[in-house]
Amino acid sequence: MTSDGLTFGIYPLSVAGTPTGIAVGPKDDYEKIEDALRQLRGNSSTLSPRNYLVFSKPDAESGLLSFADRLLHSGLLGDLVIGWIQTADIVLDEWVAFIRKIVRDYGPYLTSLQITNEPNLSFMEGSKPYTRQALIEGVIAAKQEALSCGLQVKIGFGSVPESPASVPGFWEGLADHRDKTFINSLDFVGHNFYVDVFEEPLALNEISASVERIIRNLRKNLTVAGIPDHVPIRVTENGWPTGQNPFIHMERTYDQQSAVLETVIRTVYRLRKQFLITHYELFGLRDADSSKPDLFHQFGIMRDDYSPKPAFSTFKRLIEELGISSV
């Protein structure tokens, strides 16, 4: 480990999103999750679980709180994301109240709280006209509540690379809405990206160049939004699934997964000082359903029975080598 390395994280559960819904399979086994995380950490203390609460409306709140309790009791409340269902409209006052409640009730057990997951993606949270306002008000409320409770939890928001599916002018619009309170409340900006997943395969050197381009473009967009260079970037979702690409019908092997993930992570590590990248968080620990051939069911570095793929050992080794020292 190194004193200026990366803080690593991982999505520890199995449900994954697909273009047509969600990928599910065998139930999560929390004892096996705990054991897998223990193996990955080794002598490091830097591997944080990353999970999601998806807000819709107050009458669904009890279910979300029950899920949060389950995560808490299983030791999986590390980095938490609060987003919302894109098919439902939210009331901003209720949204902010929910965020404040999460900080009050679970803040002592959190290392970070991310407000929105993919707000600049047009078919996700970015589909709503109030997205920027909800993002800004949510970040400010979370920080205010954390400070009033004497908590050190880091507060940020999420993003994805620009593409035909991203919200046009998102970053310029964020600049129009922002104020000093928002900037002062912001501890990081998360970025979800998947290189060489939904398109033709890339050579490893092309993958490295693609990662650098994505990170460089994000830092430029943060400048457009008026977010200073001293606000860190976190890679908050990244992965490379096995199985078959349903769009181009090419098989993706376990060995390829291991090689690509190592290339991506080493590239992020190389860029960490230039672009102030502090975290790398992998999606995810295990497959949703290893019996399903499509890649959306096979994002894990373990099969759905928690048997490791080669990438499991690779990720463990990279945490030990590139993770930030705990001393």
Q: Convert the pLDDT of each residue in 127-173 to its tens digit.
A: 999 999 999 999 999 999 999 999 999 999 999 999 999 999 999 99
CATH of the domain at 194: 3.20.20.80
Residue 45 lies in a domain: yes
User: 244-300: per-residue pLDDT in tens?
Assistant: 887 777 889 999 999 999 999 999 999 999 999 999 999 999 999 999 999 999 999
User: 86-118: per-residue pLDDT in tens?
Assistant: 777 889 999 999 999 999 999 999 999 999 999
Residue 1 lies in a domain: no
- The Cα-based distances of 116 to 70, 82, 132, 192, 300 in angstroms read 21, 6, 10, 12, 23
Query: Buried b vs exposed e over 200-219: b needs ≥16 C-beta within 10 Å?
Result: eeeeeeebbebbbebbeebb
Query: Domain total for the chain?
Result: 1
Residue 2 lies in a domain: no
Residue 152 lies in a domain: yes
Residue numbers of the domain that contains 117: 7-322
Residue 260 lies in a domain: yes
| Model pLDDT, residue 210 | 96
Cα–Cα distance measured from residue 126 to residue 119, given in angstroms and rounded to the nearest whole number = 4
Residue 213 lies in a domain: yes
Residue 327 lies in a domain: no
What confidence category does residue 326 fall into, taking pLDDT thresholds of 50, 70 and 90? low
Segments of the chain assigned E as strands: 7-10, 16-18, 21-23, 48-55, 79-84, 112-115, 154-157, 188-192, 233-238, 243-244, 251-252, 277-282
Quote the tokens at residue 292.
């399903």
Instruction: Give the end-to-end CA distance of the chain in Å, rounded to a whole number.
Output: 10
Residue 51 lies in a domain: yes
* Predicted TM-score of the model (pTM): 0.96
